[in-house]
Amino acid sequence: MTSNQAPFTVDDLYDLAWLEDVRLSPDGRHVAFVQVTVNRVANGYRRAVYLAPTGGGPARRFSAGLHQDRQPRWSPDGGRLAFVSSRDDTAGQIYVIRMDGGEAQQLTALPNGASDPAWSPDGRMIACLSQAHEEERRREDAGEPPPPPADEWAATQAKAQRDRDEERRHDPRVVTRLPYRSGTSFFDDRRRHIYLVDVPEGDIDQPAAARRITHGDLHHAPPAWMPDGASLLSTATRDPEADSLFAYYDVLRVPADGGPAQTLTAAGHSYFDPQPSPDGTRIAFRRLREDRLLAEGSQVAIIPADGGDPEDLTSHTDLDVDQFHWQPDGQGVLFVAGWQGDAHIYAIGLPGTPTFRNGVTLAGGTRIVDEFSVAGDGTIAFIAGTPENPCDLFVRAPDGVERQITQINRALLDARIVAPTEEIRYQAPDEADVQGWVLYPPGFDPSRQYPLAVHIHGGPHVMWGPSMRSMWHEWQATAAAGYICFFCNPRGSDGYGEQWRDAIHSSWGEADQGDILAGIDLLIARGHVDTERIAVTGGSYGGYMTTWLISHSDRFRCAVAARGVYNLLTEHSTSDAHELIEIEFSGYPWELYEELWDHSPLAHAHKINTPLLLLHSERDYRVPISEAEQLFAILRRQKKVVELVRYPREGHELTRTGEPDHRADHMRRTLAWFNRYCTETAP
């Protein structure tokens, strides 16, 4: 700390950048990535593609980033870069630019946008995803493209007519399946399909129209080419009538000529992210057991390229795999998984190799790796955060030497006091070990007592750690406001194995409350916490736990619950994730009415005496705002201290990707509510 450093503030949110979608060039000499910054004037975000040499040197912006440039993908020879941009179409289209200079060339003009470009092995084609409904697919199959507009005025008129027709097509909206909405929008009858487009050799050559190679009323996932270029891998919904957000997917092998797809997997698991081995003899994918979708976590398995019985690679590790890539030699995979507050890159070999049973950690330490890329020479590029720095890009050379490539937030971090994080280990009432962390206010004086802010994560099956980018600034701002900040990974959290993850099954609230309260008791026993000034907050499942705790205890001076689940009966039937309740409690509301009601904070709301602030998004389709409306009405009818703040246009991801002004307001209101009741002069 230096004399010219100041504590973090809420407004620092506008100056914090982060990184996405790291991609190494085939030779490992350069890395492309997306840098995201806040556009304060527009109350939104800019995304620009950046390039950096892996051997050292400054990163440079490669795309304008005035709109949304994302998903950079290298050509096989490293001479060109494809990316998705909204510069000429808000839906996004695919562009290609040469690495030796020139203007970006628009490659697709699909009416519903294009995303997820994937170069063919010979670099002559790009596969991508786009959406089309049955009539649009019929016209494509019949070779009936819409006539090109005569001039710019006609193009403007045609777009206006199409937008009007699209709006009226859903007025009224007919719903026949579940879920029928998610994020902040409603689903329609369009399905994601794979398209191919030829890449022109010359920059001024007109690209040919994209052609669809998948068929039917199925959603397809981003494609991956087989090494011979004759087919692609994807996943697709197994049963369009499954009424499932968790989507039971199978792996498909799709001929590049548009012939019938071959299904390579069978029921029993849901499959994701299929990738061929470098020699094309095997296919690896992540999979989830259908009977334990949320308990076991995601595992990597392999099958022969033509199909066969899957062979597990990672299930014996008890790790939940977030992302994986084949090792360049095809003798195993690299993967990211969270463990006890950190997320590392691991290497594990194929069965029969020395590293199958005992994997190797390639990028460890106290940090959370968000995503990574691997080049043919073994170079690894990854995005990671630490307790001192929420996000930067790193490269690990084949010889194991690691280099930091970016310092995207250096100016801000140099000007701010970064509160250090202390890890604590303690025992729950049943003597189970729990891991948590504490941040102390700048200038912390151990002879004084401070208010305590308890943060509870959502999920419920996620893992927090001090390097968590999405929470890093909020924890720092809370400590800077004069609070001891505490968070932990109670039972139900990811990162501690299947048994810990599944410990809250049919026992929401009851199984994990002791883990949280024991951490609070430990901090109180140290003598630094004023027991009359303890605040609690959380979002989603954290909102559930916040209201569960205050309905079972009066120890909290105030509470802020965001986007929380408060009535398990109504959450089941209004959420896009209705299956969550069915899976977590092994049944349906009509079978478990009393159990679900008893585990609902709403059933205990009459016991709440703690002043409660409810924050909720009006277009939250994961946890609809009706959850907050019910709790607000019950408490208000009892004349309890309660306020409800409604955020228009926002969904469940408000605090992570919502409008910057809303994110700042959300944080500011939380701290203001804490201050109202937890300052030393509060009544």
For residue 441, the enclosing domain spans 412-678
Residue 247 has pLDDT above 80, yes or no: no
pLDDT score recorded for residue 658? 97
User: Could you tell me if residue 445 is inside a domain?
Assistant: yes
Instruction: Label residue 153 by pLDDT band (50, 70, 90).
Output: confident
The pLDDT tens digits of the residues spanning 437-487 come to 999 999 999 999 999 999 999 999 999 999 999 999 999 999 999 999 999
Assess whether 445 and 565 both reside in one domain: yes
pTM of the model as a whole:
0.96
**CB-CB contact of 321 with 298 (8 Å):** yes
CATH number assigned to the domain comprising residue 597: 3.40.50.1820
**What three-state secondary structure class fits 520?**
helix
> With pLDDT > 70 as the criterion, what percentage of the chain qualifies?
99
Instruction: Label residue 646 by pLDDT band (50, 70, 90).
Output: very high
Average pLDDT over residues 489-503: 96
**CB-CB contact of 655 with 542 (8 Å):** no
User: Could you tell me if residue 227 is inside a domain?
Assistant: yes
Residue 290 has pLDDT above 90, yes or no: no
pLDDT score recorded for residue 494? 97
Assess whether 643 and 530 both reside in one domain: yes
Assess whether 301 and 417 both reside in one domain: no
User: Could you tell me if residue 141 is inside a domain?
Assistant: no
- Any idea what the Cα angle at residue 521 is, between residues 519 and 525, rounded to 5°? 120
**More confident: 166 or 443:** 443
Q: Which residue from 422, 420, 424 is spatially nearest to 442, judged by alpha carbons? A: 420
Average pLDDT over residues 111-132: 97
User: Could you tell me if residue 458 is inside a domain?
Assistant: yes
**What's the CA gap between 380 and 360, in Å, rounded?**
14
Residue 606: C-alpha distances to residues 562, 568, 601 (Å)? 19, 17, 10
The pLDDT tens digits of the residues spanning 392-436 come to 999 999 999 999 999 999 999 999 999 999 999 999 999 999 999
Residue 221: C-alpha distances to residues 119, 250, 402, 528 (Å)? 16, 10, 33, 51
Assess whether 445 and 557 both reside in one domain: yes
User: Could you tell me if residue 424 is inside a domain?
Assistant: yes
**What's the CA gap between 428 and 430, in Å, rounded?**
5
Domain limit, last residue, from 252, 283, 309: 309
The pLDDT tens digits of the residues spanning 16-33 come to 999 999 999 999 999 999
Domain limit, last residue, from 283, 309, 335: 309
Total structural domains in the chain? 2
User: Could you tell me if residue 591 is inside a domain?
Assistant: yes
pLDDT score recorded for residue 680? 65
Instruction: Label residue 682 by pLDDT band (50, 70, 90).
Output: low
Residue 118 has pLDDT above 60, yes or no: yes
If you average pLDDT over every residue of the chain, what do you get? 94
User: Could you tell me if residue 546 is inside a domain?
Assistant: yes
User: Could you tell me if residue 142 is inside a domain?
Assistant: no
Edge-first strand listing for the sheet containing 231-237 = 224-225, 231-237, 249-255, 262-263
**CB-CB contact of 307 with 323 (8 Å):** no
Domain limit, last residue, from 309, 342, 362: 309
Instruction: Label residue 341 by pLDDT band (50, 70, 90).
Output: very high
